[in-house]
Amino acid sequence: MSSTPGGTGAPQDRLKVLSRRAFSFLLDWMAWGYVAYCVMYLLNYYWYTVHVDWWGTLTLPSWGWPVVILSTLELAVWCRSLGRSLGQRAIGVALRPVAGERIRLGRRVLRGFLWHLSVPFAPVWIARGEEPLHDRLTQVGLRTETPDPERPGRRAILTQWGFFSLFLAALTMCVGWLIIGINLQVLIRRAPQAGRIWGEMLRPDFRYFTAPDPVFHLRALSYSILDLTVVTVFMALVATVLGGVMAFPLSFLGARNVMGFSPAGWATYGVIRGFFNVFRSIETIIWASIFAIWVGYGTVLAGILALTIHTIAALGKLYSEQVEGVSPGPLEAVWAAGGSRIQVVRHAVIPQVLPSFWAFTLYRWDINVRMATVIALVGGGGIGDMLFYYKNQGDWSKVGAVVMVIVAVVWAMDYISGRLRERIA
Amino acid sequence: MPTPYLVIDGLTKVYERGQVHALRGLSFSVEKGEFLVVIGLSGSGKSTLLRCINRLIEPTEGKIWLDGTDVARLSAKRMRRVRRRIGMIFQQFNLVDRATTVRNVLTGRLGYMPGWRSLLGLFSSQDKQTALANLERVGLRDKAYARVDELSGGQRQRVGIARALMQKPEILLADEPVSALDPATSHSIMQYLEQMNRQDGVTVIASLHFLSLARRYGTRIIALKDGQLVFDGPPKTIDNAKFKEIYGEDAEEVEVR
Ligand SMILES: Nc1ncnc2c1ncn2[C@@H]1O[C@H](COP(=O)(O)OP(=O)(O)OP(=O)(O)O)[C@@H](O)[C@H]1O
Ligand SMILES: [Mg+2]
């Protein structure tokens, strides 16, 4: 059994030990925090239905959150002191006495109490590079625990992790049921209304398929369904091409095996990857609402810009993961022949990644067509404008016609891009 | 007195990850026109040594004098100019599988090309002629427009040789060029290297696993053990005792015919 005392060793080792400890705490807090929240929620719900209103409530009272946080902290600490917590297991450590084999319960309880007193002084003992005060006072420490290879492991479901996950799953189902349970009845109660709408949608009105609808206007012009379908597909196409063209060069800057040789390279890599991740996590719909305000509500430009931005980030990330996955041999060969970084990219990386780049781009086009049909909801333009116009008019048979055209287009695009991807792969 | 063509002086490489001392103060020199074979057990540092010479791996310490310049100290840009004089062939061939044979051969020329031309992939017609001629030389003229993933291992290594020939190298580094090949094919590949060495006067440094191949083709052999030189001399002088010292007590010599 080797030991990892937090106090000795080089500064970076100490930092590693500390950050591992922080990680294990975080894990415990997440697990117990979830439990505490769910229990609090259930109790509150019960109390509310009995004393206030049979409907129950979904919000915690104002003092609920402090209680949840406090009990999370306490549960985690006691769990870590009295036994071996999930977090401690995750980083493979256990509480051990400095001398001797076992720790008496009394010492564990004492450590739990002392933790509360010693944590305010944490900056002091961290700065001094000592082991935590509560550990020193009770003569214990977190030591790495190597599993005994002789002892066969138990079935996964029978371990502490297994029980805990089952418990969490059950808790989640309980809370989840309370949240949706109230609303489920609506689904049945209002079925007749829905039936009427479905009926009308299934008898679609294709009157304005090619002829412009005289009532529906976009900036004083009227359009037919076909007009706007073409516009929508075109929006997706332009956004995919623009996005792909811009993501292509960026993806190499965001690949470790191309950039990771110098500090400047690493910095570029970090910036580009950060850009991809941030811009990708903002959905197209949100971009569309931003651009709708910026360049005009309901304009095609707003939609194209929104789709393009998201496409750059999403494709850039996929592309650069492909670049990182290339086999390093050809790169090495070009370096060895005296090639520059650009030549390495051009002659060793690109030939390897081009087929998957095409496949991803086609797939993205597919996604963009689907996105383009709905971004009109927030002012992004396209066929969605017509869809939501008819919906607001309550003209469900025309809605049905538009939806059917959308289904046909999306299905066709899916089929075409699927076939093309097959050909490439 | 003229200094040797390549002088390695106190070369040390420590891999940061795991603190592996792959080379420990290695020193030797190579004359122009030699066929030097590096032998040693797996993990003895052969690949590390070869890759330090053209700085695919940054040496931790020591000097590498190539024709009077210390390559260990060159800037990245100057290093590129030196690298194009150093050919290299690899155990795993390191070819772009999806590209055609002639495309792969042409990449050997990149070090000599201006940036914009290579970016567009515009190889001069002279380069293309040379590429085809080099493929002819390794007997692969008819496979020039086949994709590399259609070729056998031996054919791939010949493509690798043709690619190195494109550089018109003064020195050739071969890192276990035949480890992935069967004995007969191994000999044919080694004969191409021998031919480059004899006819074109290319200094060859090759790492090999089989002592029989080393004896047959090398004009001189050095042996590494744990990153240190344990033998340096002509092939004939490796006797059974030396062999045991290099490969360990239990080793048996295997013959490649
Ligand atoms: N990138 C690396 N990071 C860390 N250690 C490495 C790295 N590359 C090689 N090593 C270590 O350096 C030592 C020498 O490796 P090297 O590849 O030079 O040996 P070799 O003689 O070529 O072996 P083989 O015959 O198996 O190819 C080995 O102990 C290896 O584990
Ligand atoms: Mg090797």
**pLDDT higher than 90, residue A377:** no
In the prediction, which pLDDT does A7 show?
42
pLDDT at A16 over 70: yes
Q: Report the pLDDT averaged over residues A86-109.
A: 84
pLDDT at A2 over 60: no
Q: Does A335 touch chain B (CB under 8 A)?
A: yes
Give the distance from residue A319's alpha carbon to the nearest chain B alpha carbon, in angstroms. 18
The answer to whether the CB of A340 falls within 8 A of the CB of A261 is no
Mean pLDDT to the nearest integer, A266-271: 93
Closest residue (by CA) to atom 7 of ligand 1? B15
Confidence tier at A250 by pLDDT (50, 70, 90)? very high
- Which tens digit of pLDDT belongs to each residue from A31-52? 899 999 888 888 888 888 777 7
- Are A148 and A286 found together in one domain? no
Shared domain for A141 and A231, answered yes or no, is no
Taking 70 as the threshold, does the pLDDT of residue A313 lie above it? yes
Same domain, A165 and A57: yes
Measured between beta carbons, which residues in chain B are less than 8 angstroms from residue A335? Answer: 56, 83
Angle (CA) A381-A384-A386 rounded to 5° is 100
User: Residue A68 is part of which domain span?
Assistant: 11-180
Give the model's pLDDT for residue A99. Answer: 78
- Find, among B2, B7, B28, the residue nearest to B231 by Cα: B28
Domain assignment of residue A325, yes or no: yes
List B66's β-bridge partners, or say none.
B6, B69
Which residue has the least CA distance to atom 22 on ligand 1?
B47
The verdict on a CB contact (< 8 Å) between B96 and A338 is no
Q: Is residue A401 part of a domain?
A: yes
- Residue A79, in any domain of the structure: yes
Q: Do A336 and B56 touch (CB under 8 A)?
A: yes
Contact B107 A334 (CB under 8 A): yes
Residues of chain B in contact with residue A341, where contact means CB-CB under 8 angstroms, are: none
More confident site: A59 or A212: A212
pLDDT at A148 over 70: no
Report the residue from B88, B90, B96 with minimal CB separation from A351.
Answer: B96
Given CB atoms, is B59 within the 8 Å cutoff of chain A?
A: no
A323-346 residues labelled b (16+ CB within 10 A) or e (exposed): bbebeebbbbbbbbbbbbbebbbb
Percent of chain B residues past pLDDT 90, beyond the cut:
63
Mean pLDDT, rounded, for A109-123: 89
Q: What is the edge-to-edge ordering of all strands in the sheet holding B220-225?
A: B86-89, B171-175, B203-207, B35-40, B220-225, B228-233
Phi, psi of A40 (to 5 degrees): -60, -45
Q: What is the DSSP string of A253-276?
A: HT-HHHHTTSHHHHHHHHHHHHHH
Q: At residue B253, does pLDDT exceed 90?
A: no
- The residue whose CA has the least distance to atom 16 of ligand 1 is B45
Using a CB cutoff of 5 Å, list residues around ligand 2, an ion. Answer: B 47
Q: Which of B98, B118, B166 sits opposite A343 (nearest CB)?
A: B118
**pTM score:** 0.77
Measured in whole angstroms, the distance separating CA A334 from the mean position of its chain's CA atoms is: 38
pLDDT of the residue at A298: 85
Residue A219 and residue A175 share a domain? no
Instruction: List the Cα angle B213/B218/B221 in 5-degree steps.
Output: 100
> For position A1, what pLDDT does the model report?
33
**CATH 3.40.50.300 domain extents, chain B:** 1-85+169-250
What pLDDT is attached to residue B134?
Answer: 94
Report the SS3 class of residue A425: coil
Residue A294: predicted pLDDT: 93
Minimal Cα–Cα distance from A236 to chain B, Å?
Answer: 29
Split at pLDDT 50, 70, 90, the class of A6 is very low
Tell me whether residue A206 is in a domain: no
Better-predicted residue by pLDDT, B17 or A118: A118
Contact A330 B94 (CB under 8 A): yes
Contacts of A336 in chain B (CB under 8 A): 54, 56, 83, 86, 88, 173
DSSP labels, B86-131 = EEEE-TT----TTSBHHHHHHGGGGGGS-HHHHHHT---HHHHHHH
CB contact under 8 A, B110 and A339: yes
From the CA atom positions of chain A, what is the Rg in Å?
30
Residue A323 predicted with pLDDT over 90 = yes
pLDDT attached to residue A215: 82
Q: How far is CA B250 from CA B96, B240, B253, in A?
A: 40, 12, 10
Query: Ligand 1 atom closest to Cα of B47?
Result: 22
Question: B47 C-alpha to center of ligand 2: Å?
Answer: 4
CATH of the domain at A340: 1.10.3720.10
What is the chain A residue with the closest CA to B52? A336
Q: Which ligand is nearest to the CA of B16?
A: 1
- The predicted pLDDT at position A361 comes to 93
CA A206 to the chain's CA centroid: 40
Is residue A197 included in any domain, yes or no? no
Contacts of A354 in chain B (CB under 8 A): 98
Nearest-CA distance B239 → chain A (Å):
35
Burial B69-80 (b: 16+ CB within 10 A, else e): eebbebeeeebb
Least confidently predicted of A22-36, A61-75, A171-185, B55-69 = A171-185
| Residue range B184-220, pLDDT digits in tens | 889 999 999 999 999 999 999 999 988 888 989 999 9
Q: Does B111 touch chain A (CB under 8 A)?
A: yes
* Domain termination residue (choose one: A130, A165, A180): A180
Asked if B96 has any chain A CB less than 8 Å from its own CB, the reply is: yes
Whether A164 and A244 map to the same domain: the answer is: no
Confidence of residue A104 (pLDDT cuts 50, 70, 90): confident
Name the closest residue on chain B to residue A348, using Cα atoms.
B96
Residue B45 Cα to ligand 1 midpoint, Å, equals 6
Instruction: Name the residue with higher pLDDT: B147 or A4.
Output: B147
CA distance A18 to A134: 15
**Is pLDDT larger for residue A142 or for residue A9?**
A142
Question: Given a cut of 60, is residue B116 above it in pLDDT?
Answer: yes
Q: Is the domain of A376 the same as that of A301?
A: yes
> B110 and A338: CB-CB below 8 Å?
yes
Looking at per-residue confidence, does A344 or B210 come out higher? A344
pLDDT at residue A346 greater than cutoff 60: yes
- Closest chain B residue to A326 measured between Cα atoms? B96
Nearest CA in chain B to A330: B94
Residue nearest to atom 1 of ligand 1 (CA): B15
State whether A235 and A336 are in the same domain. Answer: yes
How far is residue A114's CA from residue A111's CA, in Å, rounded to a whole number? 5
Residues B131-180: pLDDT tens digits?
Answer: 999 999 999 999 999 999 999 999 999 999 999 999 999 999 999 999 88
Number of domains in chain A: 2
Neighbours of B176 (CB within 10 A): 18
Looking at beta carbons, which residues of chain B come within 8 Å of A338?
Answer: 80-84, 110-112, 167
Q: What residues are in contact with ligand 1 under a 6 Å CB criterion?
A: B 15, 17-18, 20, 22, 40, 42-48
Asked if the C-beta of B90 comes within 8 angstroms of chain A's C-beta atoms, the answer is yes
Superfamily (CATH H level) for B1-85+169-250:
P-loop containing nucleotide triphosphate hydrolases (3.40.50.300)
Which of A317-326, B16-25, B171-180, B217-226 shows the lowest mean pLDDT across its residues? B16-25
The reported pLDDT for the residue numbered B256 is 62
Mean pLDDT of A104-128: 88
> Per-residue confidence at A263, pLDDT binned at 50, 70, 90?
confident
Shared domain for A42 and A109, answered yes or no, is yes
Above 90 in pLDDT, residue B239? no
Chain A hits for B113, CB-CB cut-off 8 Å, are 343
Residue B43 CA: which ligand is closest?
A: 1
Q: Atom 30 of ligand 1 has which residue's CA nearest to it?
A: B43
B78 Cβ contact partners less than 8 Å away, ≥ 6 residues apart: none
- A262, A322, A332, best to mutate vs chain B, most B CBs in 10 Å: A332
Question: What pLDDT is stored for residue A269 in this prediction?
Answer: 93
A232 and A332 assigned to the same domain: yes
Q: Is position A188 within any domain?
A: no
Point out the ligand nearest to the CA of residue B15: 1
Residue A55 confidence (pLDDT) above 80 = no
Q: Quickly tell me which residue has 């000592």 as its tokens.
A: A130
Average pLDDT over residues B19-47: 91
The stretch A365-386 carries a mean pLDDT of 89
Asked if this assembly's ipTM is beyond 0.90, the reply is: yes
